[in-house]
Each structure stands twice: as C-alpha cells, then as structure tokens.
Amino acid sequence: MTSVESAAAGRIVVGFDGSDHAQHAVDWAVGEALSRGVGLFIVSAFTPPVGGSSFGFGAYLSPDALDDMSQRLSRDLATYTETVRAAHPGLDVTADVVMGSPTTALIQASDDAVLTVVGSRGLGGFRGLLLGSVGVNVASNAHGPVVVLRKDAPADAKTIVVGVDGSDLSDQAVDFAFDMASRHGWTLRAIHAWEVPSYDVLAAPMGLPPSSIDDFGEVAARVLAEALAEHRERYPDVPVEVRVVRGTPARSILDNAKDAAMIAVGSRGRGEFMGAMLGSVGQGVLFKAKVPVAVIGGGDDEED
C-alpha cells in the first residue's frame, strides 16, 4: 500500500491544485465528509516540468529545484488546509503533496477511500473544455465512487437521478444513489431508457421478428422494477420516482436531471466494451451535465 493509499483509507479524498474548481470540490467534499462522519484527505500532486532545446534534448529540474518546488507547494497546501480546519473544527483533515501525475495519485488514493472528489477542470485545463482530463481519467479508473463537480446544483434541488440498465455497475450506482438520498433527505429518480434494437442485416436479412413497440416498453419497465426492488426494501425512507423513457440513455438522464442535486451512473453499462475507459453513457453525462455527477466503477478490480 502506498503512502497516499494509507492516508486516504476510510476518508473522502479530494484533489487540489489551487484552482477555483478545486476549491469548489474541497467545499463540497467537506460537506459530504461531515454528513458521513469521516475524515477528509486533500491531495495535491505535481509533475516536474521538463525543459526542451532545439536539439530535441530534455532537461529535468535539479534535485534542489524539485525540493524547492515541493516545499513551496507543501507550504501553500498547509496554509489552505489550516483554513479548512479553522472553518470546520470538528472535521479531521489531513493533506499531502506528492510528485507525479495527479490522475495516478487520485486513483491510488481511491483504493480504500470512501469517496473521491475532483473538480471539473484544474489550472491546466483548456477554457474551451467542459471537463478536464484528470476528471475523466479518475472517473474511468478509480476504485469506487467518484464525484465530478461541475456547477452547483440548484439551491432547492432535492433529487438524485440515477441511470438504470440492469448491469452490475448500474446496480452499484443505484445503491450509491439510495444511500445519498437517504443521507440527505432526497428523492430518488430512476431512469431506464430504451430504444428499438438494431440488427445485423446479414445475420437477419428478414429483419426483427414481429413485435409491438409496447412490448419493448414493458420489458424496460420490468428491468427497472427488478433493479430497484431490493434497494427499496433496504431504504424505505427514500421516495422513489420511476421513469421509463424511450430514447438514448445519456440524453434521457440529462433531460430528467434539470432540477437534480446529483446524477449517478455506472462507468459502463450493458452492451459497452469492457476495455473502454468510460462508457458512452458515462461520457455523455459527464461532459454535458450541469450538476455534480457520481460515476461508480470497479477500477482494476473489475472482471475482464
């Protein structure tokens, strides 16, 4: 176990680089840590810059220069951490600066963390992008739930929207959504989207067997009911809205989340390539959502 993993165990982990997006992420993580009664671990990572020349050679920083950079970042983080502690004296807050990729540091920290939180963009993010590469990569590969903070949800938002398709990761997202709803007094809105299935014209030249459009909707409703049944028994305090929608999953989730406090999705769903870092639904929601998004994945522990 790395030092980052040890420091993050049993805590909420949040990445920090000094940007406004990162400070927003810390603020949200503080509230969630207080609601769960767990500690907070703020991790800041830096990659040493590499100089170049016209001859194509790179020049790394000297050890002394690296030490100076690390000490300066550690001082800045310590000052910020003390500010967080002063504002929330009952919260157990720790912090660390590590040398290396921010993505790798957060993924390692997520291994035994309760939750990992990242901002939508950092200091190195392009202004034209809605979501930075760190957020995408951490959401794709972390061990456990990752919350990517976009804009704040509406102040009166009391609903968590979860995409349901019957897959294992979808079931984990449903479990996360019920827990969040119970913890915060929210309503859970479960969305199952369906479309008329496509087919291979070479394998089935006569097309699909005759069936009613209503049949697809009935199957979708049954899948949704089965996916929610056990969770509804475990969380009788959570009001549940069920919506079976004809359309693409990502668009259906986004259309039904305009008044939401959060969206929860699995990192991949049924029919998506297991080797993909993040499924098409997760990508579509992450890149276009205007509220916090929780992505639930299995990281390297997931079966091939």
pLDDT confidence of residue 154? 84
| Residue spans per domain, the chain | 3-149, 159-296
Q: What pTM does this model have? A: 0.82
* 8-state DSSP, 108: H
pLDDT digits (tens, 9 = 90+) for 70-119: 888 899 999 999 999 999 999 999 999 988 888 899 999 998 899 999 98
Say whether 159-296 and 3-149 share the same fold. Answer: yes
Considering the domain 159-296 in this protein, what is its CATH number?
A: 3.40.50.12370
Q: What are phi and psi of 54, to 5 degrees?
A: -65, -15
Pick the closest to residue 141 from 298, 25, 264, 32 (CA basis). 298
Burial 139-154 (b: 16+ CB within 10 A, else e): bbbbbbbbbbbbeebe
3-state SS string for 187-235 = EEEEEEEECCCCCCCCCCCCCCCCCCHHHHHHHHHHHHHHHHHHHHHHC
Residue 182 has pLDDT above 80, yes or no: yes
Q: 265 or 210: whose pLDDT is higher?
A: 265
Cβ–Cβ under 8 Å, residues 252 and 245: yes
Statement: 3-149 belongs to CATH 3.40.50.12370: yes
Kindly report the average pLDDT of the chain as a whole number: 81
Cβ–Cβ under 8 Å, residues 268 and 280: no
* Chain-centre distance for alpha carbon 275: 18
3-state SS string for 227-285 = HHHHHHHHCCCCCEEEEEEECCHHHHHHHCCCCCCEEEEECCCCCCCCCCCCCHHHHHH
pLDDT digits (tens, 9 = 90+) for 68-78: 778 888 999 99
Pick the closest to residue 145 from 177, 181, 122 (CA basis). 177
Q: How many CA atoms lie within 13 A of 298 on its CB side?
A: 16
